[in-house]
Structure 1
Amino acid sequence: MRQDPVLEVEDLHTHFFTRGGVARAVDGVSFSLHRGEILGLVGESGSGKSVTGMSILGLIDPPGRIVSGAVLYRGENLVAAGEKRLRQLRGNRIAMIFQDPMMTLNPVLSVETQMVETVLAHDRVSREQARERAREALARVGIPSPDERLAAYPHQFSGGMRQRVAIAIALLHQPDVIIADEPTTALDVTIQAQILFEVQKLCRETGTALVWITHDLAVVSGLADRVAVMYAGRIVETGTTVEVIDHARHPYTHGLLGSVPSRNKRGEPLAQIPGMTPSLLGLPEGCAFQPRCPRATAACLALPPLSGGDHGWRCFHPQEAAA
């Protein structure tokens, strides 16, 4: 019998109240995550992926606000939790890896100080034990001479090395959930493959659940167990990786897959999705994708529901499920 989800996001709405109007960055997002499961959250820039991740940890600052919905960690609603409780969970049971490592690292403190203090903030261990854990974490993400690098400061690392340090910090407590916001964008393909291998190994061995936020479908296809495709703040298709990648139904998912270079013939122009992502301050009526969709009809002026089942899509005119 399958265990209860470790993380459940239920009808989450996060809005930004600006002078130009209300931007509905996250508009009714729902998904669940079990122990050891990896969910790929995919979409173009501005689709609401990062705001969804930040909302889970309560990191939305004014003028943004979670206006409704629930984020359940082991049954506890984090939307209603106080700041003290969230600080107990952040970096300990739920960790986040940011796209920009300098959002994690303090430029005036050595790497050793930052990693040791992270360990001591949640665990009662000696400083020497905390330092050894930090050294092992650096070695795990492929940083050479970890003892020497512990004494260095963030500005003494390259951008890719800083990102590896940020990933190592997220792994320190072997959290129940990791939210990774495009953490390998700045890394070369060799180190990216190493990080992906370590992340999969961590999830398999410790039961850590992972939300991997990305626009790179190639990474998702080899990493995630399930995929959720986002567009304009909503999930438009979700299912197992095999179902979504090989049997996509939503036209937007087809557009993303068609624009992957490996799916195009040599010498031919890359396929493109026409138009631009709509402004969240003025979303079109009904389906947000309909102005760019080749299958749109008058029915698309109403908001399509997300179909039921393990493989769901939000479309009145889904494409045929063909590999």
Structure 2
Amino acid sequence: MTQPVLEVTNLSTHFPTRRGVIKAVDEVSFTVGQREIVGLVGESGSGKSITGFSVLGLVDPPGRVVSGSIRFQGEELTQLPQKAMRAIRGKRIAMIFQDPMMTLNPVLSIGTQMVEAVLAHDRVSRTEARNRARDALGMVGIPSPEERLDAYPHQFSGGMRQRVAIAIALLHRPDLIIADEPTTALDVTIQSQILYEIKRLAQEFSMALVWISHDLGVVAALADRVLVMYAGRIVEAGPVEDVLSQPAHPYTLGLMQAIPSAVPRGEPLRPIPGMAPSPLARPSGCSFRDRCQRATEICSAEPRLDILADREWRCFHPNEGRAA
């Protein structure tokens, strides 16, 4: 069996506060194989982004990884010193952030920023670094890449800025890219184009990709497997077609029923009732039980992890199609 590119085991990331400890990520486990695209979905505050930041060692203090293992190509990342982690971050593992205007420096040209990203990891001439930056812009579909290197972020549209962010992530041909909702602010036409480019490039360069999103439609179009997070835990995982056609966990079903396109015209949406629990007062047992129509007394206990072939879920009352 081929070794996974990324193997996360029982990862927990906590934020201590005056009112208590926020368990943003609570014993999360998953793997990502070569050329595999894994979607990580859930409501805002479910722990998706913090999971990605934990892998890259980007959790801001006082937050920290308190337990668990993060193995990248067999190397344990949680034990690496900062200098060694900086050598991996950006070169072997890259990240695409949600808002490119927050990651691109507005007073530096695109070319300057991309050249510095190349020189930070590779000892090459500035001419060679500029050529690599130009080629990366061309790969993501930016026209006249040589000229656009001299442009500034404000001279690009939102979709083009996001393409620049993707190009920067591709500069070193990383083995793993973590994309944190990079198409959320874009219109559906540009979003479709970027999803197509991402999928093509992942296959072309044999990259693994973790796609963090709250949009099940995007994940359905892009991912091979999907991980559904709720209150800091993965509550369901499996091949994307299987999970979305026969969701086992009531939370996954609730997310699907809240999609506007899935509702016949004239019928109201079916949102998940209630609110996600406060991370400072998370209930014992199943965290979803206060919002679940299937909940019974047994749900006050911690739900076990059920595994069937390549599917897994945490629920005492899985949906009938999956239970069979």
TM-score, normalized by length of structure 2? 0.96
Give the equivalent residue in structure 2 for 1:65.
64
Q: Residue type of the partner of 2:315? A: C
Structure 1 alignment gaps of length 5 or more:
none
Deviation at 1:203, TM superposition (A): 1.7
- Equivalent position SS for 2:307: coil
Structure 2 Cα separation of the partners of residues 104 and 175 of structure 1: 18
Supply the distance in 2 between the matched residues of 1:10 and 1:176 (Cα, whole angstroms): 19
| Distance in 2 (alpha carbons) for counterparts of 1:203 and 1:74 | 17
Q: Which residue of 1 aligns with 2:45?
A: 46
1:64-118 deviations in Å (ceiling 9; x for gaps)? 1110001000111111111001110111000001112134212222110110111
Q: Separation in 1 of the partners of 2:47 and 2:303?
A: 19
Q: Which amino acid aligns with 1:178?
A: I
Structure 1 SS opposite 2:203: helix
Which residue is 1:274 aligned to?
Answer: 273
Q: Measure how far apart 1:241 and its partner are.
A: 0.7
In structure 2, the residue matched to 1:313 is: 313
> In the comparison of the two structures, how many residue pairs are matched?
321
Distance 1:146 1:277 in 2: 45
Gaps of 5+ in 2: none
What's the counterpart of residue 83 of structure 1? 82
Give matches, 1:16-55, under 5 Å.
16-55=15-54
The corresponding residue for 1:218 is 217
Q: Distance in 2 between matches of 1:220 and 1:37?
A: 13
In the aligned structure 1, how far is the partner of 2:127 from the partner of 2:186?
A: 30
In 2, distance between residues paired with 1:228 and 1:39? Answer: 7
Identity across the alignment (%): 66
Q: Determine the C-alpha separation between the residues in 1 that align with 2:296 and 2:130.
A: 61
Q: RMSD across aligned C-alpha pairs, in angstroms? A: 1.3
- 1:138 aligned onto 2:144: no
Indicate the SS of the match to 2:272: coil
Given that 1:48 and 1:233 are in contact with CA atoms closer than 8 Å, whether structure 2 keeps it comes out as: yes
More displaced, 293-302 or 141-150? 141-150
Matched, 1:178 2:166: no
Cα distance in 2 for partners of 1:130, 1:89 equals 19
Measured in 2, the distance between the counterparts of 1:125 and 1:191 equals: 34
After superposition, residues 294-313 of structure 1 pair within 5 angstroms as 294-309=293-308, 310-313=310-313
SS of equivalent residue, structure 2 residue 306: coil
Q: Which amino acid aligns with 2:311?
A: H
Query: What letter is aligned with 1:8?
Result: E
Q: Superposition pairs for residues 194-209 of structure 1, below 5 Å?
A: 194-209=193-208
| Structure 1 residue 259, shift from structure 2 partner | 1.0
Please give the secondary structure, in 2, of the residue aligned with 1:270: coil
Secondary structure of 1:308's aligned partner: strand
SS at match of 1:162: helix
Q: For 1:133 and 1:321, how far apart are their aligned partners in 2?
A: 51
Aligned to 2:236: 237
- What is the CA–CA distance in structure 2 between the aligned matches of 1:143 and 1:186, rounded to whole Å? 19
- Whichever residue aligns with residue 316 of structure 2, its letter is F
Do the aligned partners of residues 141 and 186 (structure 1) sit closer, same or farther apart at CA in structure 2, a change above 3 Å counting? farther
Q: C-alpha displacement at 1:134, in angstroms? A: 1.2
